[in-house]
Amino acid sequence: MGHRLGQTLSLAALSLVLAFFFWAVATETSDPTEERAYPDAIPIEVRGVPADRMAAYGAENSKARVVLRAPRSIWQILQVEDIHAYVDLSAASPGKNISVPVIVEVLRGPAQVVEYSPQEITLSLEPLAEKDVPVLVVIDGTPALGYVARPPTYVPQAVTVRGPESRVAEVVRAQLRVSVKEQRQNVTGDLAAQPVDQAGNVVAYVEIIPKSISVNVPIEQLGNIRDMAVRVIVLGDPADGYRVASVTVDPPIVTVIGRQDVIQQLPGYLDTDPVLLNGASASFTATVGLQLPEGLSVLLTPEVLVEVTLEMQESKVTVPAEPEVLGLPTGYSVELQPARLRLVLIGPYTAIKDLDIDTVKVSVDVDGLAPGRHTLTPTITLPDPLIRIESVLPQPTLSVMIRRELEP
């Protein structure tokens, strides 16, 4: 009896092993395991650093390359977030350029890590330190001609620097640069400062608290120098049928220098010498001088470039027209409603002025049409391609009645 029970249990175990074997073979066939490198590099995290006591630096951009073994179905859904690479500094001793092992884990099973590199990275672990340093604002460039930059004001005038102990020790000030190049108005803003050492070099891995400095650099105009707008004086009229579309001047503002009493009396602009149109029929540019009061002169250049843009004026005319019937066979008559049209034409002034209304032709072609009533759009022929039709009155179509004449 015991012998038979043993045989039964052995057969059951063998069946279970065979079933698992065939299941594994079937699974491997339908979803084969593949071993390959993950295409993206995995950022290496730094863990286990007490944020209030220690600072780790030097491995901020470290990444790991990982080779995994996983079923094809897992490869199809595997994301960067499923793979973690990190170093644990919870038991590390402080020091510079210490080597620590890299740990790689895959959170999506049944994927397995086969190999990875680097196996370890080098970084520095130091006590966290902070201290207060003064702020220095450096002015770059020079303002526009006739302006001067005054000493800047800024808040706060001292900041706290925080970071690894040895790095914080190197910092002597928080420095920021403000450009006033070609400025005519105060330069203000909340700007970020940088921690620098005695030689002015930026110290890495150190943060500044607060992150930005409120700065104001006053820009003042010198008393005997002033910026003034340029007003263009245009005299005369363009050619018949043209009008002035726009007038521009370059530069639109000039800087003048002279006696302070003269500058203070000026209205804020200078007139140009007259620009004469003299019947012009095309756009043009002209270099003209400025009308300067005695005791005043212009810095850089005493002349400006004026550009005058002309455009043709448009005009309208209403032309009466009787449509001409074309293609009417012998023995037929035709009646048009309306019998007369009014054409509203629009175009350049000169083209409309010179228009001969007898050259405007309106026709309607009835060739091949059967007797009865038809609605047709007449053909309008204009002598000048610059002239166009704005509207046809009282309507753009004709009611055409074709009749066969009775034989006498």
62-93 pLDDT, tens digit each: 999 999 999 999 999 999 999 999 999 998 99
Q: Which residue has the higher pLDDT, 260 or 340?
A: 340
With 0-12 CB in 10 A as exposed, 13-18 as middle and 19+ as buried, what is 102? buried
Q: In 10 A of CB 144, how many CB atoms?
A: 17
Confidence of residue 94 (pLDDT cuts 50, 70, 90): very high
The domain 315-404 having CATH identifier 2.170.120.30: the answer here is yes
pLDDT over 90 (residue 25): no
Q: Which residue has the higher pLDDT, 81 or 1?
A: 81
Lowest mean pLDDT of 25-34, 92-101, 333-342, 383-392, name the range. 25-34
pLDDT over 80 (residue 393): yes
Domain 225-312 has what CATH class?
mainly beta
Q: What is the mean pLDDT of residues 89-117?
A: 93
Extract long-range pairs of 150-154: CB within 8 Å, 24+ residues apart: 150/217, 150/218, 150/219, 150/220, 152/178, 152/215, 152/216, 152/217, 152/218, 153/215, 153/216, 153/218, 154/213, 154/214, 154/215, 154/216
Q: What is the mean pLDDT of residues 371-376?
A: 94
pLDDT at 407: 58
Lowest mean pLDDT of 13-17, 75-79, 397-401, name the range. 13-17
Lowest mean pLDDT of 19-28, 168-177, 348-357, name the range. 19-28
Lowest mean pLDDT of 21-35, 117-131, 187-201, 372-386, name the range. 21-35
If you average pLDDT over every residue of the chain, what do you get?
A: 89
Q: Could you identify the residue written with the tokens 């054409």?
A: 343
CA neighbor of 178 nearest in space, from 190, 169, 167, 196: 190
Q: Which CATH architecture has domain 33-118?
A: Beta Complex (2.170)
Give all strands (DSSP E) within 261-349, no chain letters: 269-271, 275-276, 284-289, 296-298, 303-312, 314-321, 324-326, 332-337, 341-348
Domain 128-221 has what CATH class?
mainly beta
Q: Give the C-alpha separation, 324 to 340, whole Å.
A: 10
Residue 96: beta bridge partners?
none
pLDDT at 12: 55
Domain ranges of the chain: 33-118, 128-221, 225-312, 315-404
pLDDT at 14: 54
Residue 137 structure tokens: 């604002």
pLDDT at 262: 81
pLDDT at 173: 97
pLDDT over 80 (residue 287): yes
Q: What is the pTM of this model?
A: 0.53
Domain 128-221 identical in fold to domain 315-404: yes
Which whole-number Å values give the CA distances from 256 to 41, 138, 148, 226, 363, in the listed order? 63, 30, 15, 5, 68
Name residues whose C-beta falls within 8 Å of residue 371's C-beta, 6 or more positions apart in sequence: 332, 402, 403, 404
Confirm if 157 and 175 have CB atoms less than 8 A apart. Answer: no
Q: Give the C-alpha separation, 204 to 141, whole Å.
A: 27
Answer left, alpha or beta for residue 236, where phi above 0 means left and psi between -120 and 50 means alpha.
left
Dihedral of the alpha carbons of 201, 206, 207, 212, in degrees to the nearest 10: 0
pLDDT at 24: 43
